[in-house]
Structure 1
């Protein structure tokens, strides 16, 4: 096999969830693709680095000259509810189902000292400032993953929330322990979201 093709397979197989067989199939697809497709594909890959950046409000993703994402810019959403998630993929999983119409705040991960993720490395300060300075927010949904790191993150939010006149809710226990929101099936996630539990 040519070294160029081997290197491409190595790059593709480095991606999460892609094994060697899938990497080989994708590499050969790209090898046989027409030049127009390849030029467009290469251009879009480059744009990922140059045009896609964090939303200044929720820390989701936006692009171009936009400072906020389309969700944060949508004034028709429910301004009373803020859903806190660990990462962008969790937000996409919830948003795709159409069960939530408020706004999001993306922490950028969960608290995990063993992995070097401490509160000061995540977007907690911005979350607490947002809650403190936005009196319209009456409910904070903590939609962290149901594992040790997610529970630690949940507890940290509960203990440090700057306003006491806000309802804190948690997704119901339908999600599997040590699971991840982005991998939950639609029905489980819908039920967990609709049956969320208020923290006393």
Structure 2
């Protein structure tokens, strides 16, 4: 009996779709097959709408000129929101982290997205991240009083946090780090709101620790 996951028996177009789904994080071979066969059963209009949404996502999404978050405008809605405290800047690795932290409902400052973390094993250094934009932002906005480092608590996130701490140490800005309520080695996007709230409220002043 031929196993179902033997892709040589699939039509070329179907196999291409399966392989495309497999590129998504957390999607294994069997899940990719189920998704592909589900698409086959969808109405043509729904498939077209799905395809258009993917195309629009890539063609219409840009990076905010201030915080580097994904946006459909030059400056994102969060950065133009006058009700937010622009003296606080929370630095995160990915856009998803913003939604997790903001959903906790206790932080009303602004954000800055690095779009990754320092990882020598993957050939990613500080130059590949949006750190230069953060430094330029600090120079332009003299109202910034605190930078909250909210990178993930894994090796890459810790390395990135330490690098940010070093390059920002010469400024008069208060540098803080999320409290250790988050499990070591974890990503912020998987943390619950209670844990996030504690990590934000109990953030540690890095400069004080150095002294």
Does the alignment reach a TM-score above 0.5? yes
Which residue is 2:114 aligned to?
107
Which residue is 2:65 aligned to?
56
TM-score (norm: length of structure 1): 0.91
Pick the structure with greater CA Rg.
2
**Counterpart-to-counterpart distance in 1, 2:188 and 2:152:** 6
Comparing 152-161 with 136-145, greater Cα deviation is found at 152-161
| Structure 1 segments of 4+ aligned residues over 6 angstroms from their partners | none
Is the Cα contact below 8 Å between 1:131 and 1:163 reproduced in 2? no
Which residue is 1:78 aligned to?
85
Query: How many correspondences in the alignment?
Result: 198
Structure 2: tracts of 5 or more residues without a match: 1-9
TM-score (norm: length of structure 2): 0.87
**Counterpart-to-counterpart distance in 2, 1:143 and 1:74:** 21
Q: What's the C-alpha RMSD, in Å, of the aligned pairs?
A: 1.6
**Counterpart-to-counterpart distance in 1, 2:85 and 2:64:** 18
Which residue is 1:179 aligned to?
186
Tell me the SS of whatever aligns to 1:79: strand
**Counterpart-to-counterpart distance in 2, 1:62 and 1:137:** 22
Structure 1: tracts of 5 or more residues without a match: none
Which residue is 2:4 aligned to?
none
Which residue is 1:88 aligned to?
95
**Counterpart-to-counterpart distance in 2, 1:5 and 1:164:** 55
**Counterpart-to-counterpart distance in 2, 1:159 and 1:6:** 48
